[in-house]
Amino acid sequence: MTVLRHPNNQGVTLTQWRKTASGGETSLSGTDDFGAGLAYTAGAEQVFVNGVLIERGVDYTASTGTTVTGLTALVAGDIVTVSSPSAFNVANAIPKATVAAKGDLIVGNGAASVTNLAVGADGTTLVANSSASTGVSWAGPVQVAAKNLLINGLLDIWQRSTSVTGQANGYATVDRWYLVSTASCTFAQESTVVPNGCRYSQKVTVGASSSSTQAYQAVETSNAVAFAGQNIAFSAYFQSSATPTINLVVEYSTTVDYPLASGSWVAISATSGGSGTAGSASFTRVSGVYAIPSTAKSLRFSFNSSTMASGAVLYYGGFQAELGSVVTSLMRNASTLQGELAACQRYYERVTSEQLYGVFGMGKAYDTGTLQIVVPFKVTKRTAPSALDTSAMSSFQYETGGTSGNTPTSLTLGALNSSNIATLYVAKTSSFTTGLLYYLMGNNNASAYVGWSSEL
């Protein structure tokens, strides 16, 4: 028997059984001229007579693996060779059964080890993910804009104020974020200690009493429904010398445009993550994955901290909520800063007397006690404004017919409001002239303002 090995030594052998006929044989079996027994792989053998290949099933039959029959009687001196390869078996071959369905991928999960990655949902994207056992996972569709469901998640826009002190319970500083604290704290815009990719963070300094802090954002139905029935990865960055525990919270409601402060939001348990500890020397990104019910019409995202002692400082920012189960690099809700401002002004718009150096509204005195001024909005609001806030009325003035220098005693929200315009009632100590057209103006004071709210 001659044994021929594969040139790359991959474990494939070719055996040859060779025998000189004595004459008259119609079958082959037993040992050859070199003492090797006849053995072949049925269906893979080749039989040669004097070097000429004869045809399987026509010139001979080979089915047992040890005998060849059906030969035309051999002539004495004929040399018969039976050649057969060993069963082909590559040790590192990947079985077809590794994949279970169309679209599945074979991925490495370690050195010299592979596994199946099931096909992702329609429209999802394969991304690198060092926390996954396979090193890759499926994420939401790649989006150039609006990847981040949260408006002003990077804390770029601060229309109301850059600093406020007190026991927070409402919108006070950074746009779209409703602040809560259990004791007096100072909430301030921070431009030095910030997460990578952000211009600002919020700095919270705990007052005389220990306090925990929270920040909320509600997502209106027109934006929330696109995420119903999907996984969302929610993340944010935190840093504090007090290293408090941070809990991320995602809630939903089946009610359209459910108000943020309502008490019947339903919490969604994180399928992974959802809590962490604020970094002591640098920002830690805390994240969690949440399966949004298909019935969700409104969403609310928030975090809460464990109690921090008096004087403790917490920095936070870089909020992101995105489709899929993988946290990706930060991006604004809008593709530009101007777009982010417009998205914020859909819910709240403030103009200062300094910005309004000149006419910003006009209207008619309906009687001696009622002057209604109409002001067009820069951005269409979510709804007609529900609240008005003002400051420093002495920095505003109204005039008519060349008479100027008249200062209103107050401005209040009028009755004829829409998502595109607001009306203001102007009050003064003396009477208006019925039927005259009046103008409302600012006088270059940055601390005086008028603001309209259409928040959830």
CATH code where residue 285 lies: 2.60.120.260
In a domain, residue 144? The reply is: no
Q: Do 31 and 112 fall within a single domain?
A: no
In a domain, residue 257? The reply is: yes
404: confidence class by pLDDT, cuts 50, 70, 90: low
Q: Do 301 and 418 fall within a single domain?
A: no
Q: Do 13 and 134 fall within a single domain?
A: no
Count of beta carbons in the 10 Å neighbourhood of residue 283: 22
Q: Do 309 and 182 fall within a single domain?
A: yes
Non-local (6+) Cβ contacts of 338 within 8 A are: none
Q: How many domains does the chain have?
A: 4
pTM: 0.73
Helix, strand, coil percent content, the chain, rounded in steps of 5: 5, 45, 50
pLDDT value at residue 191: 98
In a domain, residue 385? The reply is: yes
Q: Give DSSP secondary structure letters for 268-318.
A: E-EEEE-EEE-BSSS-EEEEEEEE--TT--EEEEEEEE--B-TT-EEEEEE
pLDDT value at residue 95: 84
| Residue labelled with tokens 């403790």 | 312
171: confidence class by pLDDT, cuts 50, 70, 90: very high
Q: Do 210 and 305 fall within a single domain?
A: yes
Domain termination residue (choose one: 343, 372, 391): 343
Q: Do 178 and 322 fall within a single domain?
A: yes
In a domain, residue 129? The reply is: yes
Domain termination residue (choose one: 60, 75, 92): 92
| N-to-C CA span, the chain | 88
Please give the biggest Cα pair distance in the chain.
Answer: 139
Strands (E), 21-133: 46-49, 52-54, 79-85, 105-110, 113-117, 125-128
**Lowest-pLDDT choice from 149-153, 154-158, 375-379, 396-400:** 396-400
Average pLDDT, the chain: 90
Q: Between residues 297 and 141, which one has the greater pLDDT?
A: 297
pLDDT value at residue 88: 61
pLDDT value at residue 440: 83
Q: What is the mean pLDDT of residues 122-140?
A: 84
CA distance 289 to 292: 10
Measure the CA dihedral 86/90/94/97, to 10°: 20
> How many residues are present in the chain?
456
Helices and strands per DSSP (H, E), number in the chain: 2, 33
Q: What are the tens digits of pLDDT across the range 293-328?
A: 999 999 999 999 999 999 999 999 999 999 999 999
Residue 105's domain comprises 96-139
Domain termination residue (choose one: 105, 139, 173): 139
Q: Do 121 and 171 fall within a single domain?
A: no
Please give the distance of CA 248 from its chain centroid, rounded to a whole number: 15
11: confidence class by pLDDT, cuts 50, 70, 90: low
CATH code where residue 356 lies: 2.60.40
In a domain, residue 152? The reply is: no
Count of beta carbons in the 10 Å neighbourhood of residue 183: 18
In a domain, residue 150? The reply is: no
3-state SS assignment for residue 258:
coil
Instruction: Please check the confidence at residue 422 and state whether its pLDDT lies above 60.
Output: yes
Sheet hosting strand 270-273, strand order edge to edge: 163-166, 185-190, 201-206, 313-323, 231-240, 284-291, 270-273
Q: Between residues 342 and 370, which one has the greater pLDDT?
A: 342
Residue 53 backbone phi and psi in degrees, to 5? -70, 125
Q: Do 67 and 134 fall within a single domain?
A: no
CA distances from 179 to 144, 186, 243, 377, 417 (A): 30, 11, 20, 26, 27
Structure tokens at 324: 């899929």
In a domain, residue 158? The reply is: no
Instruction: Please check the confidence at residue 51 and state whether its pLDDT lies above 60.
Output: yes
3-state SS assignment for residue 371:
strand
Q: Do 170 and 311 fall within a single domain?
A: yes
Q: Do 359 and 336 fall within a single domain?
A: no
Report the share of the chain in percent with pLDDT over 90. 67
Are 71 and 60 in contact, with CB atoms under 8 Å apart?
yes
- In one letter, which amino acid is 213? T
In a domain, residue 146? The reply is: no
Q: Do 254 and 308 fall within a single domain?
A: yes
CA distance 49 to 365: 120
Non-local (6+) Cβ contacts of 358 within 8 A are: 441, 442
